[in-house]
Protein backbone atom coordinates (compact mmCIF):
# COMPACT_ATOMS: atom_id res chain seq x y z
CA UNK A 1 0.00 0.00 0.00
CA UNK A 2 2.86 2.35 0.80
CA UNK A 3 4.31 1.68 -2.65
CA UNK A 4 0.98 2.65 -4.28
CA UNK A 5 0.82 5.92 -2.34
CA UNK A 6 4.36 6.80 -3.43
CA UNK A 7 3.50 6.19 -7.08
CA UNK A 8 0.31 8.28 -6.86
CA UNK A 9 2.29 11.12 -5.28
CA UNK A 10 4.75 11.00 -8.17
CA UNK A 11 1.92 11.20 -10.71
CA UNK A 12 0.37 14.19 -8.91
CA UNK A 13 3.69 16.04 -8.86
CA UNK A 14 4.22 15.33 -12.56
CA UNK A 15 0.73 16.59 -13.43
CA UNK A 16 1.26 19.79 -11.45
CA UNK A 17 4.62 20.30 -13.16
CA UNK A 18 3.08 19.94 -16.61
CA UNK A 19 0.23 22.19 -15.55
CA UNK A 20 2.67 24.97 -14.79
CA UNK A 21 3.96 24.78 -18.35
CA UNK A 22 0.42 24.70 -19.75
CA UNK A 23 -0.46 27.92 -17.94
CA UNK A 24 2.60 29.61 -19.38
CA UNK A 25 6.03 30.32 -18.03
CA UNK A 26 7.60 33.73 -17.71
CA UNK A 27 10.01 35.03 -20.29
CA UNK A 28 13.29 33.10 -20.18
CA UNK A 29 15.37 35.85 -21.75
CA UNK A 30 18.01 37.14 -19.34
CA UNK A 31 18.63 40.84 -19.86
CA UNK A 32 22.11 40.57 -18.37
CA UNK A 33 23.46 37.88 -20.67
CA UNK A 34 22.43 35.91 -23.77
CA UNK A 35 20.30 32.81 -23.25
CA UNK A 36 22.65 30.81 -25.50
CA UNK A 37 26.40 31.22 -25.76
CA UNK A 38 26.59 30.12 -29.42
CA UNK A 39 24.33 29.00 -32.25
CA UNK A 40 25.72 27.40 -35.42
CA UNK A 41 23.48 27.83 -38.46
CA UNK A 42 21.83 24.66 -39.78
CA UNK A 43 19.62 26.30 -42.43
CA UNK A 44 18.00 29.74 -42.95
CA UNK A 45 15.58 29.22 -40.05
CA UNK A 46 17.39 27.09 -37.48
CA UNK A 47 20.66 26.94 -35.59
CA UNK A 48 22.24 24.66 -33.00
CA UNK A 49 23.36 25.74 -29.55
CA UNK A 50 26.09 23.53 -28.07
CA UNK A 51 24.54 23.59 -24.61
CA UNK A 52 20.77 23.96 -25.18
CA UNK A 53 20.06 22.29 -28.52
CA UNK A 54 18.31 23.42 -31.71
CA UNK A 55 16.35 26.64 -32.15
CA UNK A 56 13.93 26.10 -35.04
CA UNK A 57 11.67 28.80 -36.48
CA UNK A 58 10.10 26.50 -39.09
CA UNK A 59 6.70 26.30 -37.30
CA UNK A 60 6.38 30.06 -37.89
CA UNK A 61 6.88 29.93 -41.65
CA UNK A 62 4.09 30.56 -44.15
CA UNK A 63 4.42 28.22 -47.13
CA UNK A 64 2.00 29.94 -49.52
CA UNK A 65 4.33 32.73 -50.65
CA UNK A 66 3.02 35.30 -48.16
CA UNK A 67 4.81 36.81 -45.13
CA UNK A 68 3.93 35.45 -41.69
CA UNK A 69 4.59 38.73 -39.90
CA UNK A 70 3.71 42.32 -40.76
CA UNK A 71 4.46 45.33 -38.60
CA UNK A 72 4.24 49.11 -38.68
CA UNK A 73 6.91 51.50 -37.45
CA UNK A 74 5.42 52.90 -34.20
CA UNK A 75 6.45 56.49 -35.00
CA UNK A 76 5.33 56.49 -38.62
CA UNK A 77 2.53 54.65 -40.39
CA UNK A 78 4.26 55.30 -43.74
CA UNK A 79 6.67 52.43 -43.16
CA UNK A 80 5.58 48.80 -43.02
CA UNK A 81 7.78 45.74 -42.65
CA UNK A 82 7.21 42.12 -43.64
CA UNK A 83 9.03 38.96 -42.57
CA UNK A 84 8.69 35.25 -43.15
CA UNK A 85 11.25 32.79 -41.74
CA UNK A 86 12.46 29.80 -43.77
CA UNK A 87 10.36 30.26 -46.91
CA UNK A 88 10.65 33.10 -49.48
CA UNK A 89 7.65 35.36 -50.09
CA UNK A 90 6.67 38.03 -52.58
CA UNK A 91 4.89 41.29 -51.89
CA UNK A 92 4.90 44.34 -54.15
CA UNK A 93 8.34 44.77 -55.72
CA UNK A 94 9.97 42.45 -53.15
CA UNK A 95 10.34 39.11 -54.91
CA UNK A 96 11.43 35.89 -53.16
CA UNK A 97 12.66 37.69 -50.07
CA UNK A 98 12.88 36.92 -46.36
CA UNK A 99 12.20 40.49 -45.20
CA UNK A 100 10.86 43.59 -46.93
CA UNK A 101 10.26 47.28 -46.25
CA UNK A 102 7.33 49.21 -47.75
CA UNK A 103 7.52 52.99 -47.73
CA UNK A 104 4.35 54.86 -48.67
CA UNK A 105 4.10 58.54 -49.54
CA UNK A 106 2.26 59.49 -52.73
CA UNK A 107 3.08 55.99 -53.94
CA UNK A 108 4.53 52.83 -52.44
CA UNK A 109 8.18 51.79 -52.72
CA UNK A 110 9.38 48.35 -51.71
CA UNK A 111 12.92 47.53 -50.56
CA UNK A 112 14.30 44.05 -50.01
CA UNK A 113 15.96 43.56 -46.63
CA UNK A 114 17.46 40.23 -47.60
CA UNK A 115 16.63 36.76 -48.87
CA UNK A 116 16.73 33.40 -47.13
CA UNK A 117 20.19 32.61 -48.53
CA UNK A 118 21.65 35.60 -46.68
CA UNK A 119 20.40 34.43 -43.26
CA UNK A 120 22.94 34.45 -40.42
CA UNK A 121 22.67 33.63 -36.71
CA UNK A 122 24.90 35.44 -34.24
CA UNK A 123 25.07 35.85 -30.46
CA UNK A 124 25.61 39.44 -29.35
CA UNK A 125 25.50 41.20 -25.99
CA UNK A 126 21.75 41.61 -26.51
CA UNK A 127 21.15 37.95 -27.27
CA UNK A 128 20.57 35.73 -30.30
CA UNK A 129 20.06 37.66 -33.55
CA UNK A 130 18.93 36.44 -36.98
CA UNK A 131 20.04 38.79 -39.77
CA UNK A 132 19.49 39.17 -43.51
CA UNK A 133 21.36 41.37 -46.02
CA UNK A 134 20.35 42.76 -49.42
CA UNK A 135 22.17 44.78 -52.09
CA UNK A 136 19.65 47.41 -53.19
CA UNK A 137 19.45 50.85 -54.77
CA UNK A 138 18.56 54.05 -52.96
CA UNK A 139 16.07 56.56 -54.50
CA UNK A 140 18.95 58.17 -56.41
CA UNK A 141 19.89 54.84 -58.01
CA UNK A 142 23.06 54.34 -55.96
CA UNK A 143 24.03 50.94 -54.56
CA UNK A 144 22.85 50.66 -50.97
CA UNK A 145 23.19 47.70 -48.60
CA UNK A 146 20.25 47.05 -46.28
CA UNK A 147 20.40 44.68 -43.32
CA UNK A 148 17.58 43.40 -41.11
CA UNK A 149 18.35 42.29 -37.55
CA UNK A 150 15.73 40.22 -35.72
CA UNK A 151 16.43 39.67 -32.03
CA UNK A 152 15.06 36.27 -30.99
CA UNK A 153 13.65 36.21 -27.47
CA UNK A 154 12.62 32.90 -25.90
CA UNK A 155 9.15 33.38 -24.43
CA UNK A 156 7.19 30.22 -23.58
CA UNK A 157 3.96 32.19 -23.23
CA UNK A 158 4.03 33.48 -26.84
CA UNK A 159 2.77 31.07 -29.50
CA UNK A 160 3.12 31.64 -32.37
CA UNK A 161 4.84 34.86 -31.32
CA UNK A 162 4.92 38.66 -31.25
CA UNK A 163 6.79 40.56 -33.97
CA UNK A 164 7.92 44.03 -32.85
CA UNK A 165 9.17 46.70 -35.24
CA UNK A 166 11.90 48.95 -33.83
CA UNK A 167 12.87 50.51 -37.14
CA UNK A 168 15.94 51.89 -38.86
CA UNK A 169 19.00 52.75 -36.81
CA UNK A 170 19.28 56.52 -37.05
CA UNK A 171 23.04 56.36 -36.50
CA UNK A 172 23.60 53.61 -39.09
CA UNK A 173 21.27 54.06 -42.04
CA UNK A 174 20.31 50.85 -43.79
CA UNK A 175 20.27 48.83 -40.56
CA UNK A 176 16.75 47.79 -39.47
CA UNK A 177 15.92 46.27 -36.09
CA UNK A 178 13.10 43.99 -35.00
CA UNK A 179 12.26 41.67 -32.10
CA UNK A 180 10.51 38.31 -32.06
CA UNK A 181 9.12 36.97 -28.79
CA UNK A 182 8.09 33.36 -29.25
CA UNK A 183 8.22 29.85 -27.85
CA UNK A 184 9.77 28.88 -31.19
CA UNK A 185 12.76 31.10 -30.39
CA UNK A 186 13.50 28.82 -27.43
CA UNK A 187 16.16 26.09 -27.60
CA UNK A 188 14.85 22.54 -27.62
CA UNK A 189 15.98 21.85 -24.04
CA UNK A 190 14.05 24.86 -22.74
CA UNK A 191 10.70 23.82 -24.20
CA UNK A 192 8.14 21.80 -22.20
CA UNK A 193 7.49 18.20 -23.17
CA UNK A 194 4.66 17.90 -25.72
CA UNK A 195 1.33 16.92 -24.22
CA UNK A 196 -1.28 14.57 -25.69
CA UNK A 197 -3.73 16.74 -27.71
CA UNK A 198 -7.19 17.00 -26.19
CA UNK A 199 -6.23 15.74 -22.72
CA UNK A 200 -6.29 18.10 -19.77
CA UNK A 201 -4.06 17.80 -16.71
CA UNK A 202 -6.98 16.21 -14.83
CA UNK A 203 -7.47 13.60 -17.56
CA UNK A 204 -3.78 12.72 -17.53
CA UNK A 205 -3.89 12.41 -13.74
CA UNK A 206 -6.93 10.10 -13.88
CA UNK A 207 -5.33 7.88 -16.53
CA UNK A 208 -2.08 7.76 -14.58
CA UNK A 209 -3.80 6.78 -11.32
CA UNK A 210 -5.82 4.08 -13.10
CA UNK A 211 -2.67 2.59 -14.60
CA UNK A 212 -0.95 2.65 -11.21
CA UNK A 213 -3.84 0.79 -9.58
CA UNK A 214 -3.76 -1.87 -12.28
CA UNK A 215 0.01 -2.17 -11.86
CA UNK A 216 -0.33 -2.42 -8.06
CA UNK A 217 -2.99 -5.15 -8.21
CA UNK A 218 -1.18 -7.15 -10.92
CA UNK A 219 2.18 -7.13 -9.14
CA UNK A 220 0.58 -7.77 -5.75
CA UNK A 221 -1.41 -10.77 -6.93
CA UNK A 222 1.63 -12.18 -8.73
CA UNK A 223 3.74 -11.91 -5.56
CA UNK A 224 1.02 -13.51 -3.41
CA UNK A 225 0.55 -16.45 -5.80
CA UNK A 226 4.06 -17.21 -7.04
CA UNK A 227 6.19 -16.07 -4.11
CA UNK A 228 4.00 -16.52 -1.03
CA UNK A 229 2.08 -19.48 -2.55
CA UNK A 230 -1.37 -18.14 -1.65
CA UNK A 231 -4.60 -18.69 -3.55
CA UNK A 232 -8.23 -17.55 -3.69
CA UNK A 233 -9.08 -14.43 -1.68
CA UNK A 234 -5.76 -14.73 0.12
CA UNK A 235 -4.04 -13.75 -3.15
CA UNK A 236 -5.46 -10.22 -2.86
CA UNK A 237 -2.61 -7.89 -1.80
CA UNK A 238 -3.23 -6.26 1.59
CA UNK A 239 -6.46 -8.27 1.91
CA UNK A 240 -7.20 -7.18 5.49
CA UNK A 241 -6.97 -3.51 4.57
CA UNK A 242 -9.35 -3.82 1.57
CA UNK A 243 -11.86 -5.89 3.59
CA UNK A 244 -11.92 -3.30 6.36
CA UNK A 245 -11.90 -0.27 4.04
CA UNK A 246 -15.72 -0.06 3.46
CA UNK A 247 -16.33 -0.13 7.21
CA UNK A 248 -13.67 2.48 7.85
CA UNK A 249 -15.15 4.75 5.19
CA UNK A 250 -18.62 4.31 6.69
CA UNK A 251 -17.34 5.16 10.19
CA UNK A 252 -15.61 8.24 8.82
CA UNK A 253 -18.72 9.49 7.05
CA UNK A 254 -20.92 8.89 10.10
CA UNK A 255 -18.40 10.69 12.31
CA UNK A 256 -18.56 13.73 10.02
CA UNK A 257 -22.37 13.64 9.80
CA UNK A 258 -22.70 13.45 13.58
CA UNK A 259 -20.03 16.19 13.92
CA UNK A 260 -17.96 13.95 16.12
CA UNK A 261 -20.78 13.25 18.57
CA UNK A 262 -21.28 9.55 19.17
CA UNK A 263 -22.28 7.31 22.02
CA UNK A 264 -20.98 4.09 20.54
CA UNK A 265 -17.56 4.25 22.13
CA UNK A 266 -17.06 1.77 24.93
CA UNK A 267 -16.35 3.16 28.35
CA UNK A 268 -12.67 3.17 29.10
CA UNK A 269 -11.69 0.92 31.99
List the domain boundaries for the chain.
2-14+199-257, 27-190
Residue 91 backbone dihedrals phi, psi, to 5 degrees: -150, 130
What is the per-residue pLDDT for 25?
41
Cis amide leading into 199 (omega within 30) = no
pLDDT of the residue at 41: 96
The answer to whether 97 and 68 are in contact (CB under 8 A) is: no
Record the pTM: 0.64
Query: Selecting from 1.10.287.130, 2.40.50.140, 2.70.130.10, 3.30.565.10, what CATH number does the domain 27-190 have?
Result: 2.70.130.10
DSSP readout, the chain? -HHHHHHHHHHHHHHHHHHHHHT-------TTS-S-S--EEEETTEEEETTTEEEE-GGG--SSSS-SEEEE-TT-TTEEEEE-SSS-EEETTEEEESEEEEEESSSEEEEE---GGG-EEEEETTEEEEEEEEEEE-TTS-EEEEEEEEEEEE-TT-SS-EEEEEEE-TTSTTEEEEEEEEGGGS-GGGSPPPPPTT--HHHHHHHHHHHHHHHHHHHHHHIIIIIS---GGGGSTTHHHHHHHHHHHHHHHHHHHTTT--S-SPPP-
Q: Each residue of 30-58: pLDDT tens digit?
A: 444 557 899 999 999 999 999 999 999 99
Convert the pLDDT of each residue in 83-130 to its tens digit: 999 999 999 999 999 999 999 887 899 999 999 999 999 999 889 999
pLDDT at 160 over 80: yes
Amino acid sequence: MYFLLVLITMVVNLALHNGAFAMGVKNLENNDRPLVKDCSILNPCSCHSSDLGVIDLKPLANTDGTPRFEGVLPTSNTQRYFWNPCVPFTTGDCHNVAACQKVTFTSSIFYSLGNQASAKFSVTEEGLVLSYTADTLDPAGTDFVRTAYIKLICDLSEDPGEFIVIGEDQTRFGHYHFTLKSIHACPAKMKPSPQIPGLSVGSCLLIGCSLLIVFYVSIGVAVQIFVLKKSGKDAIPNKVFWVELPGLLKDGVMFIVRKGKTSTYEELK
